Amino acid sequence: MVNLTIDGKQITVSKSATIYEAAREAGIDIPVLCYAKKLLPYGACRVCLVEVEQMKGRLIPSCTTPVTEGMIVRTMSDEIRKVRKTVLEFLLVNHVVDCPVCDKGGECDLQDLTYEYEVVTNRFAGEKFDLEKDEVNPLIERNMNRCVLCGKCVRVCDEIVAYGSYSFINRGFETKIATAFDRGLDCEFCGQCVSMCPVGALLPRPFKFKARPWQLKEVDSVCGYCGNGCTVTLGVLNNKVETIRFNDKIGVNDGNLCVRGRFGSSYVNSGERLTKPLVKRDGQLVEADWDEALAVISAGLKKAQDGKGVGVISGARLTNEELFLVKNLASVIGTANLDHSGGECYKGVTEGLKQTLGVTASTGTFPQVEEADVILSIRSDFYETHPVFGMTVNQAVKRREAQLFIVGDKNGKFDKLPGAKTLLHKPGLEVNVLNALCQELIASGKAVTDGVNGLDALTQALAAYTPEKVAALTGVSAELIRAAAAALAGAKRSAILLAYGLPYTAQSREIAIAAANLALLSGNVGKEGSGLYLCGEKANSQGAIDLGVLPGPGGMGAQQMLTAAGKGELSALYIVGEDIVSSYPDRDKALKALAGADFVVVHDLFMTPTAALADVVLPAASFAEKDGTFTNAERRIQKVRAGISSPGEAKTDGAILAQVIACLGSSVSYTGPAALFAAVAESAGYTGIAYDQIGPQGVVWGGESLTVKHKNLIAVAGAEPVAGDYVLLTGSALHHSGTVSTRATGPNAVVSEGYVEFGSEDAKALKLREGDQVALKANGVELKLKAKIGKRLPKGVLFAPYHFSSAQINTLYKGEAAVAVQVVR
Partner 1 sequence: MSEAVAEVQEEEIDLAGANAILDKYLDMHGALMPVLQAIQEHYGFVPEPCVHLVAERLNVYTSQIYGVLTFYAQFHLEPRGKYIVRVCMGTACHVKGAGRIAETIKERIGVGHAETTEDLKFTAEYVACIGACGMAPVIMVNEDTFGSLTVQKVDEVIAKYQKMD
Task: State the angle between helix axes of 508-521 and 430-443 in degrees (0 to 180), rounded to the nearest 10.
Answer: 20
Least CB distance to partner 1 at residue 131 (A): 14
CA separation for the pair 330, 332 (Å, rounded): 5
- Compare residues 180 and 690 and give the one whose CB is closer to partner 1: 180
- Compare residues 115 and 168 and give the one whose CB is closer to partner 1: 168
- Compare residues 525 and 768 and give the one whose CB is closer to partner 1: 768
- Compare residues 242 and 762 and give the one whose CB is closer to partner 1: 762
Sign of CA dihedral 701, 703, 709, 711: positive
Q: Which residues pair with 66 in a beta bridge?
A: 18
**Dihedral pair phi/psi, residue 774, rounded to 5°:** -130, 160
Question: Contact positions toward partner 1, by CB under 8 A?
Answer: 158, 163-171, 178-183, 186, 416, 418, 760, 763, 769-771, 789-791
Q: Are 571 and 597 in contact (CB under 8 A)?
A: yes
Least CB distance to partner 1 at residue 797 (A): 16
Least CB distance to partner 1 at residue 751 (A): 12
Least CB distance to partner 1 at residue 791 (A): 6
DSSP 583: H
- Compare residues 164 and 648 and give the one whose CB is closer to partner 1: 164
Least CB distance to partner 1 at residue 168 (A): 5
Render 741-774 in DSSP notation, one character per residue.
GGGSHHHHHH--S-EEEEEHHHHHHTT--TT-EE
Candidates 268, 316, 259, 284; CA nearest to 624 is 268
- Compare residues 37 and 791 and give the one whose CB is closer to partner 1: 791
Estimate the share of the chain in helix, then strand, then coil, as percent rounded to the nearest 5: 35, 20, 45
- Compare residues 153 and 333 and give the one whose CB is closer to partner 1: 153
- Compare residues 504 and 758 and give the one whose CB is closer to partner 1: 758
Least CB distance to partner 1 at residue 793 (A): 12
Distances (CA, A) of 759 to 425, 458, 504: 15, 37, 21
CA separation for the pair 284, 292 (Å, rounded): 16
Least CB distance to partner 1 at residue 397 (A): 13
CA separation for the pair 155, 20 (Å, rounded): 19
- Compare residues 107 and 182 and give the one whose CB is closer to partner 1: 182
What contacts 55, CB < 8 A, 6 or more positions away? none
How many Cβ atoms sit within 10 Å of the Cβ of residue 774?
18
Q: Please state the separation of Cα 493 from the chain's center in Å.
A: 23
Render 296-329 in DSSP notation, one character per residue.
HHHHHHHHHHHTT-EEEEE-S-S-HHHHHHHHHH
CA separation for the pair 624, 627 (Å, rounded): 8
SS (H, E, C) 142-189: ECHHHCCCCCHHHHHHHHHCCCCCEEEECCHHHCEEEEHHHCCCCCCC
Torsion of Cα atoms, 728 then 731 then 735 then 738, to 10° = 130
b/e map of 675-698 (b: 16 or more CB within 10 Å)?
A: ebbbebbebbebeebebeebeeeb
- Compare residues 402 and 520 and give the one whose CB is closer to partner 1: 402
**Dihedral pair phi/psi, residue 320, rounded to 5°:** -55, -40
Q: Are 756 and 800 in contact (CB under 8 A)?
A: yes
CA separation for the pair 517, 262 (Å, rounded): 37
Least CB distance to partner 1 at residue 730 (A): 21
- Compare residues 81 and 399 and give the one whose CB is closer to partner 1: 399
- Compare residues 20 and 163 and give the one whose CB is closer to partner 1: 163
- Compare residues 181 and 209 and give the one whose CB is closer to partner 1: 181
Least CB distance to partner 1 at residue 138 (A): 15
Least CB distance to partner 1 at residue 36 (A): 19
Task: State the angle between helix axes of 467-474 and 478-490 in degrees (0 to 180), rounded to the nearest 10.
Answer: 120
Render 75-87 in DSSP notation, one character per residue.
S--HHHHHHHHHH
Least CB distance to partner 1 at residue 182 (A): 7
CA separation for the pair 785, 771 (Å, rounded): 9
Least CB distance to partner 1 at residue 659 (A): 50
- Compare residues 396 and 544 and give the one whose CB is closer to partner 1: 396
How many Cβ atoms sit within 10 Å of the Cβ of residue 791?
10
- Compare residues 164 and 307 and give the one whose CB is closer to partner 1: 164
Least CB distance to partner 1 at residue 787 (A): 10
Least CB distance to partner 1 at residue 769 (A): 7
Least CB distance to partner 1 at residue 53 (A): 38
What contacts 662, CB < 8 A, 6 or more positions away? 668
